[in-house]
């Protein structure tokens, strides 16, 4: 799935050369997807990722989402953690409040570790699920009824 997400920017670049704009549209009527207006410092979605294996991919996903849906406000820690972006999610309470205010959480499953063949998991498991902060973000979102989208990075 991540391969698809990575190949889409290539499509965007090639189409941009032909001056065609690629945006997300509703299948029902073909109208552009337009996000609802938010006050400054608020976001439509939150990208949750494992720091050691997903920072570059998370930034690519954020950029792609913003290109597909102009006006979509996407929170990514490496870009938006500091108050410069209008959010003060630098302590646990503020960070939890930030998650609570999201419409959607995108969990970016990157990196993998091999688990024992005798284990129920068998094979490989994403490093995302070995990260305490990532699991806390998922729990918080689930407890608050926030939609969670899992995006899996695969080896091509």
Summarize pLDDT for 30-84 with one digit per residue, the tens: 888 888 888 887 888 999 998 877 778 889 999 999 998 899 999 888 777 764 4
- pTM summary value: 0.71
Please report the DSSP string for the chain in residue order: -HHHHHHHHHHHHHHHHTTPPP--B-TTT-PBP-PPP--TT--SEEEEE-HHHHHHHHHHHHHHHHHHSTT--EE-HHHHSSGGGT--TTSHHHHHHHHHT-SEEEEEE--EEE--TTSSS-SEEEGGGG-HHHHHHHHHHHHTT-EEEEEE----
- Domains of the chain (ranges; CATH) run 2-152 (3.40.50)
Each residue's pLDDT tens digit, 131-154: 888 999 999 999 999 999 998 887
Are 86 and 41 in contact by the 8 Å Cβ rule? The answer is: yes
Q: What pLDDT score was predicted for residue 114?
A: 63
Contact 137, 92 (CB under 8 A): no
């Amino acid at each position: 799935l991540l391969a698809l997400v990575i190949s889409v920017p290539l499509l965007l670049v090639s189409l941009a050369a032909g001056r065609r704009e690629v945006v997300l549209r509703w299948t029902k009527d073909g109208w552009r997807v337009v996000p609802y207006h938010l006050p400054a410092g608020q976001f439509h979605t939150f990208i949750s990722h494992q720091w050691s294996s997903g920072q570059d991919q998370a930034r690519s996903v954020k950029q792609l989402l913003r290109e597909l849906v102009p006006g979509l406000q996407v929170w990514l820690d490496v870009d938006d953690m500091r108050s410069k972006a209008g959010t003060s999610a630098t302590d646990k309470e503020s960070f939890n409040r930030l998650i609570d205010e999201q419409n959607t959480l995108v969990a970016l499953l990157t990196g993998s570790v091999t688990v024992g063949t005798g284990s129920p998991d068998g094979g490989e498991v994403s490093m995302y699920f070995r990260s305490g902060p990532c699991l806390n973000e998922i729990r918080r979102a689930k407890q608050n009824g926030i939609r969670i989208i899992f995006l899996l990075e695969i080896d091509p």
